[in-house]
Amino acid sequence: MDRPIVGYHLDEHGDWVAELACGHFQHVRHDPPWINRPWTRTAEGRASALGRTLACRKCDQGATKDGP
């Protein structure tokens, strides 16, 4: 299911994690050539992606929320 990004936080390794409206978290790494997400590298880029949807596999699997 597609869910909108509502926020971000850094994980223990310094990688950005998107907080989705459903309460699940998803890494949003920029790791070319496999994953191309240059917008994750700046605060402005991350802010511009708020509201953008990501496919949430955890919702598809019926998983409980990651966040509060």
* Plot region of 23 (φ>0 → left; ψ -120 to 50 → alpha; else → beta): left
Domain regions of the chain by residue span: 2-60
Looking at residue 33, what is its pLDDT? Answer: 83
| pLDDT over 80 (residue 68) | no
Q: ∠ CA 46-17-58 to the nearest 5 degrees?
A: 120
Give the tens place of pLDDT for each residue, 1-36: 999 999 999 999 999 999 999 999 999 998 888 889
The mean per-residue pLDDT over the stretch 30-58 comes to 94
- The model's pTM is 0.90
> Kindly report the CA angle at 19 between 17 and 21, in degrees rounded to 5?
160
Contact 16, 46 (CB under 8 A): yes
